[in-house]
Amino acid sequence: MSDDKQLFNVLKPKTYVGKDRKQRTTLVSIATAYPIKDGTGISFTLPDGVSISGEVVILPRDRKESDAEDGADIPY
């Protein structure tokens, strides 16, 4: 495997009400995804004890994590 393979963040959107009483969305990291060997898809494994339902967002790892933490509404 190549060391320069693209990694992805597996994120769970979480909606909350900010101090300004506006609905906001943040992204919580739950796993890392990586390309499968034949390059036709990606794979990830959830850590033990992590159970999720609903929407999951997968973004390239080079995206700044601060974008998901600044309290701005995340357009994904």
- In whole angstroms, give the CA distance from residue 76 to residue 64: 14
* Mean per-residue pLDDT of the chain: 82
Average pLDDT (28-41) is 92
Write the DSSP symbol of residue 63.
S
Domain ranges of the chain: 8-69
Average pLDDT (24-51) is 91
In this prediction, residue 32 has a pLDDT band, given cuts at 50, 70 and 90, of: very high
In this prediction, residue 50 has a pLDDT band, given cuts at 50, 70 and 90, of: confident
Reference 27, options 52, 39, 70; nearest CA is 70
pTM of the model: 0.69
